[in-house]
Amino acid sequence: MAGPNPGQRTDQKMKTSACLFSLAVVTLLGVAGSASAQQPKIAPTAAAAAARPAVTQFLATRVTGVIRTAGTAPGEASLNGYNCDDLDVIVTSKENSSTAGFAPPKWVRTRHAVGTWSSGQCTFSVPVVANSEFNVYVSAGTKDYPCQYIGNLVVSPGYSAWTKVAFGKSVALPDFTMSAQGGKFYCGMIY
């Protein structure tokens, strides 16, 4: 009978390692618990307190908007359950990542819209880079459906105008409208 593979641990070695690890964790928790009970709480530093508004403003720098829908079922039976979170909102910078030839945008942000289709509107809120021009477009996603694209979809406008947002501010875009050319969307495949 051959011995254990040198690259594998034996059961005994694994048990010993697990036991030592558990002992180390218990010891550290005991020391940390007794140390924290003896030491007074430390107030945040002035630098940390000063940084909070900047972090809040960074997180508040965003673009918001509304996507108007017909409020009725969007299409054929294969799209039953299609909802706002199936819509992709894509924000792309005007500035490119390089100046040589064709270059992709310097930054892109993608989020799903929220809300319920039957309410007649979906909304979005996407964080953006402050003071950097960008535009927004809405795309029908296919994340929950066996489609490669959603057909007959018309979104107006196709793209928003170039926009900027100041640091810590939010800008609301004019509404997008989503409709189905010919009455209904369909689940499309490319063969």
Q: Which of 31-35, 41-45, 176-180 has the lowest mean pLDDT?
A: 31-35
Whether the predicted pLDDT of 2 surpasses 80: no
Do the Cβ atoms of 178 and 154 come closer than 8 Å?
A: yes
**Which has more pLDDT, 117 or 50?**
117
Cα(61)–Cα(170) distance, rounded to whole angstroms?
5
pLDDT digits (tens, 9 = 90+) for 75-124: 776 777 788 998 999 999 999 988 777 889 999 999 999 998 889 999 99
> Domain residue spans in the chain?
61-188
- If phi over 0 gives left and psi between -120 and 50 gives alpha, with beta otherwise, what is residue 71? left
**The predicted structure's pLDDT at residue 40:** 54
pLDDT digits (tens, 9 = 90+) for 60-76: 789 999 999 887 766 77
What predicted TM-score, i.e. pTM, was given to this entire model? 0.67
CATH architecture of 61-188: Sandwich (2.60)
